[in-house]
Amino acid sequence: MVGSHPILECKKLGQRYRTRDGHQVIFEDLDFTISGCGFVSVIGASGCGKSTLLRLVLGSEQPWKGTLRSSGEPITHPDRTRGIVFQKYSLFPHRTVLENVMFGLELTSARGLYKWLAGPWGRTGRHRQFTDEAMAQLRQVKLEDHAGKYPHQLSGGMQQRVAIAQALIMKPRILLMDEPFGALDPDTRESLQRTIVRAYHEHETTVLFVTHDLEEALYVGNRLLVLGKHPGRPGAGARIVLDQAIPQGASLDAPETQELLAHVRRAGFAPDADA
């Protein structure tokens, strides 16, 4: 089943929200498919529905039009096949770093009454194994020395590292990231970008990475999806204005990257300049 269907299939997808006078269409007629593993950067001006798209893929919101399938199955609610890293409030404040990372393992291994009451009593007998797995995951994001701390004792960048480890330990088919580094300072941001690219190569997962920073999108991703609104139709929703592979291994100064940058700026961010 998983093999024969694309990881993510998005057909004629549209979303709108109710406003005081009718509806506002966020985007419509989105068509794209992610077949193998890939690192897809989604970019667009604010209000184009990047985060909305992510919520639809996650399943925390239902589409207005069109279909969305993950490995052939329609997406109805968030489940463990799709992990998420938010910009804020990604971690559970009452759990230590280690407990945050092993949370998913605990939840999915609980059976019977534990599924209901897996509170402090919820030792499932595989605690040792989970701890080892979580520590290995923490080593990958270089946080093994902070395992016993609580989230509020960590910096913003470290919190996001924990959130990444927390999501990756469940081996999701797709990892969704909603401007995960948007609140971080430039240095931390760069180091986290390297972390996520390395994690992507190690885990062979699919990543859907939403950002408003074009250079970040080009650095981390290998496919670029640009959402933009048509300048001639002010009321209409955003569409995919560009869906293109990102040249790998090229630096930001390379001519092909610069050309892509210029193209995206025309297509996505300043459509008027193109007309």
Partner 1 sequence: MRREPRFRSIIGSPLAPATRVLLGAIGVALVVLAYEYYVYRHERSGGNLRFSPGFGQLWRAFQELTDVDPRTETVPFWNDTRASLWILAKGLGLGIAISTIAGIVMGVLSTVHAMCSPVLTAIAKIPPTAMIALFMVVFGVTGDTFKVALIVFGISPTLAIGIMLVARAVPKNTIVKAYSLGASTPQVIVKAIIPQIVPQIIEMVRLSVGPAWIYLIAAEFINSSEGLGHGIELSKRMVRIDHILVYVIWLAILGTAIDFGFHLLSRLVAPWSSTRKDD
Q: Which is nearer to partner 1, 91 or 214 (CB)?
A: 91
Dihedral of CA 163/101/224/271: which sign? negative
| Of positions 89, 201, 252, 262, contacts partner 1 by CB under 8 A | 89
CA atoms within 13 A on the CB side of 133: 19
Query: Does 108 engage in binding with partner 1 (CB under 8 A)?
Result: yes
The Cα–Cα gap between 54 and 26 comes to 13
Structure tokens at 175: 């990892």
| Of positions 41, 90, 137, 211, contacts partner 1 by CB under 8 A | 90
The Cα–Cα gap between 27 and 53 comes to 9
The Cα–Cα gap between 193 and 76 comes to 30
Q: Which is nearer to partner 1, 90 or 240 (CB)?
A: 90
Q: Which is nearer to partner 1, 171 or 263 (CB)?
A: 171
- Which of the ranges 62-70, 102-110, 234-242, 246-254 carries the binding residues for partner 1, by CB under 8 A? 102-110
- Cβ(160)–Cβ(85) below 8 Å: yes
- Which of the ranges 14-22, 32-40, 92-100, 194-202 carries the binding residues for partner 1, by CB under 8 A? 92-100
The Cα–Cα gap between 62 and 167 comes to 22
| Of positions 93, 112, 186, 235, contacts partner 1 by CB under 8 A | 93
| Of positions 116, 125, 128, 272, contacts partner 1 by CB under 8 A | 116
- Which of the ranges 7-15, 23-31, 111-119, 129-137 carries the binding residues for partner 1, by CB under 8 A? 111-119
Structure tokens at 221: 């991703």
If one counts every other C-beta atom within 10 angstroms of the C-beta of residue 260, the result is 20
The Cα–Cα gap between 160 and 91 comes to 9
Query: Does 78 engage in binding with partner 1 (CB under 8 A)?
Result: yes
- Which of the ranges 13-21, 25-33, 99-107, 231-239 carries the binding residues for partner 1, by CB under 8 A? 99-107
Q: Which is nearer to partner 1, 90 or 137 (CB)?
A: 90
Beta carbon of residue 275, minimum distance to partner 1 (angstroms, whole number): 39
Q: Which is nearer to partner 1, 118 or 242 (CB)?
A: 118
- The region, left, alpha or beta by phi > 0 then psi within -120 to 50, assigned to residue 82 is beta
Query: Does 112 engage in binding with partner 1 (CB under 8 A)?
Result: no
Beta strands 22-34 and 73-74: pairing type?
unpaired
Beta pairing partners, 16: 25
| Of positions 18, 19, 22, 94, contacts partner 1 by CB under 8 A | 94
- Cβ(7)–Cβ(37) below 8 Å: yes
Query: Does 104 engage in binding with partner 1 (CB under 8 A)?
Result: yes
Among 6, 11, 15, 171, which Cα is nearest to 73's? 6
Query: Does 119 engage in binding with partner 1 (CB under 8 A)?
Result: yes
Binding site residues, partner 1, CB under 8 A? 58, 60, 77-80, 82-84, 86, 88-96, 103-104, 107-108, 110, 115-119, 122, 150, 152-153, 166-167, 170, 172
